[in-house]
Amino acid sequence: MNQSFLPFALPEIGEEEIAEVVSALRSGWVTTGPKTKQFEADFAEFLGGGVEAIAVNSATAGLHLGLEALGIEPGDEVITTTHTFTATAEIIRYLGADPVFVDVDAKTLCIDVAAVAAAITPRTKAIIPVHFGGRAADMDALLAVARKHGLRVMEDAAHALPTTCSGKLVGTLDSDVTVFSFYANKTITTGEGGMLVTRNPEVAKRARVMRLHGINRDAFDRFTAKAPSWHYEVVAPGFKYNMTDIAASMGIHQLRKANAFQQKRAQIAALYDAAFADLPIICPPQSAKGDVHSWHLYVIQLDDSVTVGRDQFIERLYAQGIGCSVHYIPLHLQPYWRDTYKLTPDMFPVSQRIYERTLSLPIYTLMTETVVARVVAAVKEALR
Ligand SMILES: *Cc1c(COP(=O)(O)O)cnc(C)c1O
């Protein structure tokens, strides 16, 4: 095999993004300013439903701001999935609260709503579902549980642009806060960046203030408002989480391509589905009927009849020049979470099994049909 190595993920950056970034650089305004304001307005319009969009420098920052705005404090419990990236849970610890990890539903690979209901205690304040791989969690059931127990819901939508749930775009559902990621390998990218979305004006106001040092007006307003003012007030010990105009310049154009990117990813997923139909491979969960799957990830599961182990399978793909990954090493296996909360694999049988038998194949807009065919051929070879 002397074909070049196929990376697991690559962003698609066009001339439009490059020109907009250059225009930000030439404008003299490189931190949060007009491009960020435009990106926020465009993002709110893209989602619709009367949401406010607040741009931040990562989804992790947005998740932290969201949970802070919901008033989570030391001693509180927040229920989330073990089958996620550590960012989902670490922000709970930032606030001194405790995550309560639950297993995922094998049908969706998203948080198991029955397990959520069983994990509620008098200390429970909020739930953080993850739309794993871009397939929506069962939000109707989850929101019903939350309402019944008076709990707040913040969606980790790092994978979910654009994803729909019961026909509505994630970001416009009846949760309190939704946070998207624009990290380099996500469905749209600003290099680093994120967007906090909410319909709750109190949450929006708090997140805006805490995004920039707890100052009650942002830098752009201070220096460019009609009545320029040197005066500002610090109302809380805030954070430094604002998005730069350089990043927002990329975001403006990436967002315009979000639907086209989704279609491209869905085509690749359909090619994989068809190619693997007769193989001992379990394809990733489809979205519910009529809903959009963002196809951020394409996670395959090796059937029990496959004798080669998952790790060896990945090695065989690498040997053929195919990059792949594992989503995720569940949090119950990570030393910090495992030791702090005394977690064991038998507490999370579905997640544990998925971890042991799954891998993620490349799925991104720059992949041609020829490249997809190359991955399929490598998978067949690795099964042999
Ligand atoms: C990528 C990711 C995050 C963190 O996003 P950043 O923008 O890198 O902070 C959070 N949760 C999940 C599930 C992710 O995949």
Mean pLDDT, rounded, for 246-251: 98
Looking from the CA of residue 185, the nearest atom of ligand 1 is: 1
Average pLDDT, the chain: 96
* Whole-number pLDDT of residue 293: 98
Q: What was the pLDDT predicted at 226?
A: 62
pLDDT of residue 59: 98
- Give per-residue pLDDT as tens, 335-351: 999 999 999 999 999 99
pLDDT(271) > 60 = yes
Average confidence (pLDDT) over 29-50: 97
> Is 186 annotated as catalytic?
yes
Tokens of 258: 């979000």
- Assess whether the C-beta atom of 84 lies below 6 angstroms from ligand 1: yes
Rounded to 10 degrees, the C-alpha dihedral 69/57/129/177 comes to 40
CATH number at residue 30: 3.40.640.10
Which percentage of the chain shows pLDDT scores above 90? 95
pTM, entire model: 0.97
Q: Taking CA 156 as the corner, what is the angle to CA 163 and CA 74, rounded to the nearest 5 degrees? A: 160
56-87 confidence digits (pLDDT tens)? 999 999 999 999 999 999 999 999 999 999 99
State the distance from the centre of ligand 1 to the C-alpha of 60, rounded, in angstroms.
6
CB of 378 shorter than 6 A to ligand 1: no
Residue 252 sits in the same domain as residue 264: no
> pLDDT digit string (tens) for 166-205?
999 999 999 999 999 999 999 999 999 999 999 999 999 9
Residue 92's φ and ψ, nearest 5 degrees, are: -70, -40
Residues 240 and 130 occupy one common structural domain: yes
Is 138 a residue whose pLDDT tops 70? yes
Domain with residue 292: its CATH number is 3.90.1150.10
Q: Does residue 310 sit in the same domain as residue 241? A: no
183 and 75 fall within a common domain: yes
Range of the domain at 274: 259-383
Whether 127 and 224 map to the same domain: the answer is yes
If you average pLDDT over residues 353-359, what whole number do you get? 98
2 within some domain: no
Q: Which of 212, 239, 256 is the last residue of a domain?
A: 256
- Which residue has the CA at smallest separation from atom 5 of ligand 1? 59
Give the CA radius of gyration of the chain.
Answer: 21
DSSP 98-151: EEEEE-B-TTTSSB-HHHHHHH--TTEEEEE-B-GGGPPP-HHHHHHHHHHHT-
Q: Are 196 and 185 in the same domain?
A: yes
pLDDT class of 231 with cuts at 50, 70, 90? confident
| Given 148, 186, 205, 289, the catalytic residue | 186
| pLDDT at site 136 | 98
How many Å lie between the centroid of ligand 1 and the Cα of residue 179?
A: 9
SS (H, E, C) 344-356: CHHHCHHHHHHHH
Cβ–ligand 1 contact at 183 (below 6 Å):
yes
Q: Quick one: average pLDDT of 28-43? A: 97
Contact 54, 211 (CB under 8 A): yes
Sheet of 298-302: strand order equals 281-282, 298-302, 358-361
Quick one: average pLDDT of 344-371?
98
- Asked if the model's pLDDT at residue 319 lies above 90, the reply is yes
The last residue of a domain, from among 233, 256, 279 = 256
What is the Cα–Cα distance from 298 to 322, expressed in whole angstroms?
Answer: 14
Structural domain count of the chain: 2
pLDDT at 25: 98
C-alpha 145/C-alpha 154 separation (Å) is: 14
Q: What is the pLDDT at residue 1?
A: 47
Distance 28 CA to ligand 1 centre (A): 30
- Is residue 87 in contact with ligand 1, taking CB distance under 6 Å? yes
pLDDT at position 3, please?
73
Segment 118-133 shows an average pLDDT of: 98
